[in-house]
Structure 1
């Protein structure tokens, strides 16, 4: 299914490949590991509006696995990924612009988005700082969310944990390039000109 999306085939072909792919090993591995952020993101991404889904289905799929996931599980951070996807699709689709970035920041500063961000962080950090294999990616998501939200102190604390590792494509959604977005926001968080 991911190949079909990457090849930008039509919706019917994506669905045909999806049905055939249910026998695929990666699909079975996600069934065996429903708390894996990587598997959750793969399953979730097929419901995004840009891949013939809808915002409603995407948000539902991002929120559902985290409800009963153990604290510290990377899947508890999937709602952040849904908010990134929504803002990118609505405000930065096709091209990153200053207006798109401003609109994305306004979106992330909405009280409902801020509450969900804080809820995700609470569930993810409740057992302490996660050390699983997906922690660096999740920390990058958190840095992007804090940067878009204008929460400088929290963003700086996340950058101190992740060091120089830009480990998520999401930086490119809003800042044009992964490394450029990472560096610009590190500088903002650390008040470096």
Structure 2
């Protein structure tokens, strides 16, 4: 069992919103590894960073991605930094991964600068640019398709993801009847 679609991209790309819409359009479930991490840890991600540090969070993230890829047949959204791990990138090889590419202005508009994102806490615009310089090549490396989100409504992005992967919207018809 492998996911129908795996979404990767930076904070503000719309992975959660688009992922939920894709799941609805495909008639399948939606799962977010950040939510899995928070559920497992029993606290929000910013608290994990503060209490246990980023290395501990990244280990939780590796485990969450590995479990979700093995168990979830629907739409899967990964946290923005998941692709930094070489084992995670290897795990994504051959999967229907889509990089939701977003420009800084759109990301700022979508997430705001006052939301609790640990890696964007100090000088968020500058830090976001730095993260993208590091991560863009990795997002591209793991992606089967890249979908630009700029100037598009979430439903339009979801449709573009389906088109990019050649997936029909709606549940697969049962041809045995």
TM over 0.5: no
Q: Which has the larger radius of gyration?
A: 1
* Structure richer in helix, relative to its length: 1
* Structure richer in strand, relative to its length: 2
TM-score for the superposition, normalised by structure 1: 0.32
Higher relative contact order (CA 8 A, sep 6+): 2
TM-score for the superposition, normalised by structure 2: 0.34
